Structure 1
């Protein structure tokens, strides 16, 4: 398995993976507004725009095929994290998230987790912070991960 930066050639498959995982585990619990909101966020054009911002977007690749994607916004917020439903429960997600967290630039990393993904984030060390919330039809649980080594600490020279 290779973890690497997303490229423009990955945009269609990355979007398709996000939609497949979303449709399988999240969409059934949301309104039409929530589904529409997510479709816009997960579109290839939206990914392309975010590639040009202060985001790290990584993909997992096996035998030349993208199997998962994770996005870390501004070094402090997990914005997208999806694994092809056919490849889940094989460690792809944990490797992706671990690789993304290597780019963290904050003491605390946040995520607005879909309710179905809360157990995955808990298994990765995240904790629920506050109650379930809703924005633009998307229902989520705010969660946080305290980084064990503050970003930049290894550079302090102490």
Structure 2
């Protein structure tokens, strides 16, 4: 398993990977409206993460397959972090997050965590900065890491 920069040729495999992980780990936490919003706006918007002027993107590859993906916008906002369900709990997410954060010297990194991932981010040192919120049925918890 190795962590590599992702680039635009990875777009379709990344979209498929995120769709598969989201179906198991993210969508079950949303209501009908949230599921529709996520599928209509969030998944198609993945293409924006390949804008190299604003984003740093990394992928984890194992046996030629993408098993992890993360994106950092403007050096201080984590927009995506996904690991295959079958590999979660093995430290891959923390390795991926560490590698991504090594690409920036920002003192604060913020994100909107899926409700199911709050514990993961807390274990890395992120702190909850507000109450659970809902945007068009998509539930999230605002968090921040101060370094």
- Same-fold status (TM-score > 0.5): yes
1:100 corresponds in structure 2 to 100
CA–CA separation in structure 2 for the residues paired with 1:132 and 1:22:
19
CA–CA separation in structure 2 for the residues paired with 1:136 and 1:107:
31
2:43 corresponds in structure 1 to 42
Structure whose alpha-carbon radius of gyration is higher: 1
Name the CA shift for 1:26/1:50 in 2 (closer, same or farther; >3 Å).
Answer: closer
2:29 corresponds in structure 1 to 29
CA–CA separation in structure 1 for the residues paired with 2:20 and 2:138:
17
Alignment pair present for 1:18 and 2:43: no
Q: Per-residue displacement from partner, 1:96-132 (whole Å, max 9, x unpaired)?
A: 1001111224211001001100011111111111111
Q: Per-residue displacement from partner, 1:48-91 (whole Å, max 9, x unpaired)?
A: 33312501111011222211000101111110111111221222
Structure 2 unaligned blocks of 5 or more: none
Give the TM-score of the pair, scaled to structure 1.
0.84
Alignment pair present for 1:3 and 2:3: yes
**1:27, CA displacement in angstroms?**
1.2
Q: How many residues align?
A: 145
1:154 corresponds in structure 2 to none
Alignment pair present for 1:86 and 2:86: yes
CA–CA separation in structure 2 for the residues paired with 1:114 and 1:27:
10
Q: Per-residue displacement from partner, 1:30-59 (whole Å, max 9, x unpaired)?
A: 12222223223223xx33333125011110
CA–CA separation in structure 2 for the residues paired with 1:116 and 1:33:
18
Kept in 2: contact 1:20–1:85 (CA 8 A): no
